[in-house]
Amino acid sequence: MTNSDNPTRNSSQSPVWFAMSAPFGRVLKAKALLDSKSVKSFVPMKYEMVSDKEGNKSRKLVPAISNSLFAYTTKENIQSIKKNVSFLQYLVKREDDRNLPIIVPDYQMEQFIKVCDTHDERLRYLAPDEINLDKGTPVKIIGSTFDGVEGLFVRVEGKRKKQVVVLVQGVTAVVLAEFTDGYLQVINDK
């Protein structure tokens, strides 16, 4: 693990990916605010069919994960922004009887962004507790839109074949379309 992948490094001085929440449908408002402060941020988006007042349907990009976004900045900077924005909150994990902000390793975010930015309609977003990753095989995708993406090859409930899952530890998992063994390379060194 490189220093840039170590979520325990001193995040008050180095920029890291914070998992954030903006409840009540304010994710895009939070992203716009972060953008205005020159903070790199990411909101996974998906296409959805929406109807206007006249009943006309069209495809529109909407947030794929309710209330969730990711901000790449220092802890000092995000704390400063949060002071004036009550709806921007950390996603937290419980550790040593304390709630600590979830920091996503750079490599996990790179993989996650690469997958989400395809806006592939077959992507399925899951909460971490919706899938058992213990029995997964680490793989790398060879070819296709997802070339170079690493994830776990696991069985997903409700699907006959195993699928590749890219995980953002403690936050979400995104399930890719089914693959045949010819498009996957098993990773043995992890």
pLDDT < 50 stretches in the chain:
1-11
Q: What is the pLDDT of residue 122?
A: 83
Q: What is the pLDDT of residue 189?
A: 63
Q: What is the pLDDT of residue 179?
A: 63
> Is 23 within 8 Å of 87 (Cβ atoms)?
yes
Query: 109 to each of 42, 65, 115, how far by Cα in Å?
Result: 9, 15, 10
What does the block give as tokens for 182? Answer: 């010819």
What does the block give as tokens for 158? Answer: 């409700």
Residues 162 and 153: their CA atoms lie apart, in Å, by: 6
Residues 146 and 95: their CA atoms lie apart, in Å, by: 34
Name the pTM for this structure: 0.82
Q: What is the pLDDT of residue 182?
A: 59
50-76 burial: b if 16+ Cβ within 10 Å, else e: eeeeeeeeeeeeebbbebbbbbbbbbe
Q: What is the pLDDT of residue 35?
A: 96
Q: What is the pLDDT of residue 77?
A: 96
What does the block give as tokens for 145? Answer: 């839109």
Residues 18 and 41: their CA atoms lie apart, in Å, by: 9
Cα 9 versus chain centre, distance: 20
Q: What is the pLDDT of residue 181?
A: 54
Specify the amino acid at residue 40. K
Q: What is the pLDDT of residue 9?
A: 46
